[in-house]
Structure 1
Amino acid sequence: MKMSLFSLRLLLSVVLVGGVRVSWAQSAYMDSLEKWRKNYVETHDVLKTREERSLLRFYPVDRDYSVDCSFERLADSAWFEMPTSGKTKTARKYGRLTFRLHDTTMHLVVFQLQKLLAKAETKDYLFVGFLDVTSAVDTYGAGRYIDCMIGDIRGGRMVLDFNKAYNPSCAYATGYNCPIPPRENDLPVAILAGEKNYGGKVH
């Protein structure tokens, strides 16, 4: 069946508009990650000098590592003492994420720290600590973190962006009390996104 000239033009316009929307979304995403990374470097709480911050290293931004997860609330989870590089921190399992990456279904536990509940500005803070195949090779051996908030969970889903994975303070200096991700958050794949090993010396 032959397509009329009008139908062909309409189809082409739909394809072009769709392509523009995808391109704009990709550009907006990259811009947001660049701003996040710049802010992370410029406001680093351990590395104070420009020279020290220049030694921070990252994987190239890859949108495939921004994954849509289903979220299961663990409402009856008890508080426990989470091991850290120093003592312990009181935490609880707030929820459980399920997602697919590299054709593999995986899970990560989202944690809430009791100490943060005492302050209005941090009471909604959550975090995901994880290890993966790159840990102790290209990335920090004790694991990396991704910050999130209760408001990021909508309709039983949450976007987890590994491009925002960062090293704990212990990766740069001694004397910090950094939570150690539990074995259940040890991923069986290489997460080639986010922050790499620090390029300088640990203080």
Structure 2
Amino acid sequence: MKSFLILIVLISTLSCAQEKKPVLGETEFQKEMNAEYKDATSSPLKDKDRKQFEGLYFFRFDSSFVVKANLKLTPDTEWFEMKTTTSRVSPERIYGVLTFELKGESYTLNVYQGKDIMKKEGLEDYLFLPFIDDTNGEESYGGGRYIDLRIPEGDTIEIDFNKAYNPYCAYNDKYSCPIVPRVNYLALNVRAGVKAFKK
């Protein structure tokens, strides 16, 4: 009887282990995103998409898309209403201008600070970097992608395009997402970060 019970426990343990698949991802960032999107408490996915979800599509990690940028502060910029995918507007200001080299060319992007987000605990130093590039609408989401940054101590900041992610609107139209300002267009294919979502 004892050996029979051990056998039952062993079978149930093995079946549970088979059901619980490991979180997919090539990097820690990819694994964290996949875990977040699989979890019903944090996922932006619609229920029907989340139940079939196995992992987001990512470009392969490419170290050439990790760049050091010079940050030129723009302390006198006024708050403005950044448009979103709904009637809501997001109060933002240009915190500074980032200049960096990528694939042998020089580029600049505005980095933004949100009036509402900076009031939240733990996000006082949060910076928002939205951008559009030549992969949009084909390999990546048509509306562009975002990168999360923090205010640096000096005048340089690392931009890792491998951590570029889609706005929640790419997965679910119930969300209100900031529209990437046209000035933040990169005239190249940024094949790094999250790809377009395939249902």
Shorter-chain TM-score: which interval? 0.7 to 0.9
Aligned to 2:75: 75
Superposed CA offset, 1:75-100 (max 9, x none)? 11110000110121111111110011
- Give the residue type in structure 2 aligned to 1:76: D
Which of 3, 13, 30 aligns to 1:37? It is 30
Counterpart Cα distance in 1 of 2:51 and 2:30: 15
2:178 matched residue in structure 1: 179
Deviation, structure 1 residue 56: 1.3
Query: Does the CA-based 8 Å contact 1:55-1:199 persist in structure 2?
Result: no
RMSD over equivalenced CA pairs, Å: 1.6
Structure 2 distance, partners of 1:60, 1:36, is 12
Give the superposition deviation at 1:55: 4.6
Match of 2:5 in 1: none
Q: Could you tell me how far apart the structure 2 residues matched to 1:125 and 1:155 are?
A: 15
Structure 2 equivalent of residue 65 of structure 1: 65
Unaligned runs of 5+ in 2: 1-25, 38-42
Which AA in structure 2 matches 1:181? Answer: V
Structure 2 residue aligned with 1:46: 44
How far apart are residue 50 of structure 1 and its match? 5.6
Structure 2 match to 1:101:
102
CA contact (8 A) 1:55 1:198 kept: no
Rounded to whole Å, the distance in 2 between the matches of 1:122 and 1:154 is: 15
TM-score for both structures, normalised by structure 1: 0.78
Question: C-alpha displacement at 1:175, in angstroms?
Answer: 1.8
Deviations, residues 98-140 of structure 1 (Å, cap 9, x unaligned) = 0111211100111111111222222211110000000111100
Amino acid at match of 1:115: D
CA deviation vs aligned residue, 1:131-178 (integer Å, no higher than 9, x gap): 00001111001110000111xx24210010000000000000112110
> Map of 1:153-168 to 2, 5 A cutoff?
153-168=152-167
Contact kept, 8 Å, 2:80 with 2:92, in 1: the verdict is yes
CA-to-aligned-CA distance 1:21-67 (integer Å, 9 cap, x gap): xxxxxxxxxxxx71111011101331363632x25100000000000
Does the aligned pair in 2 maintain the 1:126–1:149 contact within 8 Å?
Answer: yes
Task: Number of aligned residue pairs: give it.
Answer: 166
DSSP-derived class of the 2:190 partner: coil
Partner-residue secondary structure (3-state), 1:189: coil
- Map residues 6-155 of structure 1 onto 2, 5 A cutoff: 34-44=27-37, 45-47=43-45, 49=50, 51-52=52-53, 54-86=54-86, 87-150=88-151, 153-155=152-154
3-state SS of paired residue (1:184): helix
Higher helix share: 1
| Residue segments in structure 1 that go unaligned for 5+ positions in a row | 1-32
Which range moves more in the overlay, 130-139 or 35-44?
A: 35-44
